[in-house]
């Protein structure tokens, strides 16, 4: 992943060369994330940080308007690649949904206690996988996407307690 910074003077009452170059750049790459902020007090400007992949004709996207050749084997799954639907798309059963709600409530309480956003404690995709798997021990937790050793050490006992309590209901 690459990044590039643009500075756009304010006020932007009419498109300038700075705005045009930013727009052209954004159209020529695959943007991953954009962050912007107003900087400076007297001569304020927008500072725009763009994280992107590829570039015009350089290992990524072709230049705007160029024909895109189809890759050999296009439409076929890549060897060794998981082709199952993402966890978020698989509906939860009623018991899995109850466990997911219990895990979400625990996460919200834990996040408030730590003063961090809930996704820092555990992302939604991890909670959904936990709800589907009904993890019973620390080894099971290792199989969950987004749950590494640090989260297991920090929250593993609490997560397993919530899973046990939900199963007992």
The CA distances from residue 33 to 7, 10, 15, 25, 39, in Å, are: 17, 22, 23, 14, 19
State if pTM tops 0.85: no
Residue 123 lies in a domain: yes
Distance of CA 126 to the CA centre of its chain: 12
C-beta separation of 132 from 95 below 8 A: no
Domain shared by 101 and 146, yes or no: yes
pLDDT at 61 over 50: no
| Domain contains 132 | yes
Confidence at 110, pLDDT banded by 50, 70, 90:
very high
Domain assignment present for 68: no
Instruction: Tell me: do 163 and 111 sit in the same domain.
Output: yes
pLDDT the model gives residue 58: 44
pLDDT band (50, 70, 90) for residue 22: confident
| Same domain, residue pair 155 and 107 | yes
Whether residues 49 and 106 fall in one domain:
no
Residue 81 has pLDDT above 80, yes or no: no
Shared domain for 41 and 103, answered yes or no, is no
d(CA 25, CA 19) in angstroms, rounded, equals 10
Q: What is the mean pLDDT of residues 49-70?
A: 58
Query: Percentage of the chain with pLDDT > 70?
Result: 70
150: containing domain: 87-168
Is residue 35 included in any domain, yes or no? yes
Tokens of 160: 């397993």
Cβ atoms 131, 99 nearer than 8 A: yes
Using the predicted structure, report yes or no on whether residue 55 has a pLDDT greater than 70.
Answer: no
Q: 57: pLDDT confidence band, cut at 50, 70 and 90?
A: very low
Give the three-class secondary structure for 132. Answer: helix
Please determine, for residue 86, whether its predicted confidence score (pLDDT) is greater than 80.
no
Q: Average pLDDT of 144-159?
A: 90
The fraction of the chain above a pLDDT of 90, given in percent, is: 17
Same-domain check for residues 96 and 160: yes
What pLDDT is attached to residue 79? 56
Is residue 129 situated within a structural domain?
yes
Residue-level pLDDT at 167: 83
- Position 105 in a domain: yes
Average pLDDT over residues 89-111: 87
Beta strand spans in 15-78 (E): 30-39, 45-53
Judge if 102 and 144 occupy the same domain: yes
pLDDT of residue 90: 66
Q: For the residues 48-59, what does the mean pLDDT come to?
A: 68
**Count of domains observed in the chain:** 2
Q: Residue 155 has which token pair?
A: 């929250």
């Amino acid at each position: 992943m690459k990044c590039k910074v643009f500075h756009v003077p304010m006020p932007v009452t009419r498109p300038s060369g700075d705005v045009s170059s930013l727009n052209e750049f954004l159209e020529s790459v695959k943007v991953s994330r954009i962050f912007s902020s107003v900087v400076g007090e007297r001569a304020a400007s927008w500072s725009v940080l763009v994280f992107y992949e590829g570039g015009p004709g350089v290992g990524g996207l072709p230049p705007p308007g160029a024909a895109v050749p189809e890759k050999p084997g296009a439409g076929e799954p890549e060897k060794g690649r998981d082709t199952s639907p993402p966890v978020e798309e698989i509906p939860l059963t009623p018991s899995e949904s109850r466990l997911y709600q219990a895990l979400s409530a625990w996460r919200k309480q834990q996040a408030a206690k730590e003063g961090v956003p809930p996704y820092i404690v555990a992302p939604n995709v991890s909670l959904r996988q936990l709800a589907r798997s009904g993890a019973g021990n620390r080894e099971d937790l290792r199989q969950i996407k987004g749950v590494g050793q640090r989260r297991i050490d920090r929250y593993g006992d609490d997560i397993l307690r919530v899973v046990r309590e939900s199963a007992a209901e």
